[in-house]
Amino acid sequence: APAGPQPVVKPARRTWWGGRAKAGAAPAPVGASRAAQRPYYEPRPYGAPQFGSPPRPAAFSDPAHVNSGPRLRHSVQLPLLTLLGALCGLAMTYPVVAVLVAAGWSVLARTVEASSLAIFSGAAERGRRRSDVPIAILMSPFRALPAVLTTALVMIVSGVVAAGAAIGIAVLLTGATGIAMTVESEPVLAGAMAVGVLVGWWGPAGATLRRGSRRTMRVLTLHRLGALCVSLVLGLVGAYFAVRSQASGIAPDWYPLAESFAQSLLRPF
């Protein structure tokens, strides 16, 4: 018997999204939504090209080119905590020197944060250049001036709070131990130093200090092993000054201030 009429298969046509529609597919009705006109994508393994999509380059299929996520940075919490301990230990022997060291660290951290922000902003706008770091180094003195002014204002607030904390610590230790404590006593100086540093860390303009301190410490430590070494050194420094302050006959040294001037400042307390 003669075969019946064969169905007419329309040739594949190119769709508006660049792919080829299935042969024989009827055109979408007029007024249909754009989502209804899109082809159905069958489930396929990750990375396999879908129907109607351009071929995937072989380089992207190589596992070596797959992004494994952001690189984790080593933690610097331990070095920063040991730095606080070293400052407290130094304050028990050389209070003024400890304050100057804390102020210098604050200026350095704020300058590093401002320079890093300038580098990242420039890289985001025009791309990374080889001259970004040299320019940041040349501009660092101009960025250090706002850091000095900010640190000076913050230290005024921290100093007032630390002075009040010193009086309170002296009263509490006197009542708890039965030993007369003054603001010149070594434990009181260490506690006041800790309070002043924490006020500067979490107080006004403390965000730039925190970010800059972490960046600076990461540059100084470079790696987890470096962070452990720096923490060990700072811990030994703080322990040395703390033990030295408890030696007989050794009183807090107010260098570089004159002893008479320091005594006149502390006399009201």
Residue with the larger pLDDT of the pair 148 and 46? 148
The answer to whether 103 touches 253, Cβ cutoff 8 Å, is no
Between 6-15, 51-60, 196-205, the lowest mean confidence (pLDDT) is in 51-60
For residue 29, tell me if it sits in a domain.
no
For residue 227, tell me if it sits in a domain.
yes
For residue 169, tell me if it sits in a domain.
yes
**pLDDT grade for 125, boundaries at 50, 70 and 90:** confident
pLDDT of residue 63: 44
Omega within 30 of 0 (cis) for the link into 256:
yes
pLDDT of residue 102: 96
For residue 106, tell me if it sits in a domain.
yes
Is the torsion defined by CA of 111, 87, 228, 240 positive or negative? positive
pLDDT of residue 177: 85
Q: What is the pLDDT of residues 24-44, one digit of tens each?
A: 555 555 555 555 555 555 666
pLDDT of residue 69: 41
Q: What is the mean pLDDT of residues 252-266?
A: 67
For the chain, give the secondary structure using H, E and C.
Answer: CCCCCCCCCCCCCECCCCCECCCCCCCCCCCCCHHHHCCCCCCCCCCCCCCCCCCCCHHHHCHHHCCCCCCCCCCCHHHHHHHHHHHHHHHHHCHHHHHHHHHHHHHHHHHHHHHHHHHHHHHHHHCCCCCHHHHHHHHHHHHHHHHHHHHHHHHHHHHHHHHHHHHHHHHHHHHHHCCCCCCCCHHHHHHHHHHHHHHHHHCCCHHHHHHHHHHHHHHHHCCHHHHHHHHHHHHHHHHHHHHHHCCCCCCCCCCCCCHHHHHHHHCCC
Q: What is the pLDDT of residues 7-20, one digit of tens each?
A: 555 555 555 555 55
Residue with the larger pLDDT of the pair 179 and 159? 159
Q: Indicate the number of domains in the chain.
A: 1
Residue with the larger pLDDT of the pair 58 and 8? 8
Tokens of 138: 């040349």
For residue 175, tell me if it sits in a domain.
yes
For residue 130, tell me if it sits in a domain.
yes
Domain enclosing residue 121, as ranges: 77-246
Residue 199: count of CB within 10 angstroms of its CB? 20
The answer to whether 153 touches 200, Cβ cutoff 8 Å, is no
Q: What whole-number distance in Å separates Cα of residue 188 and Cα of residue 122?
A: 47
What is the reported pTM?
Answer: 0.68
pLDDT of residue 124: 73
Tokens of 47: 């990375």
pLDDT of residue 62: 44
| Beta bridge pairs of residue 20 | 14
Between 11-20, 198-207, 254-263, the lowest mean confidence (pLDDT) is in 11-20
The answer to whether 76 touches 226, Cβ cutoff 8 Å, is no
For residue 267, tell me if it sits in a domain.
no
Work out the mean pLDDT of the chain and round it to a whole number: 78
Q: What whole-number distance in Å separates Cα of residue 79 and Cα of residue 150?
A: 24
Percent of residues, the chain, with pLDDT higher than 90:
43
**pLDDT grade for 82, boundaries at 50, 70 and 90:** very high
For residue 32, tell me if it sits in a domain.
no
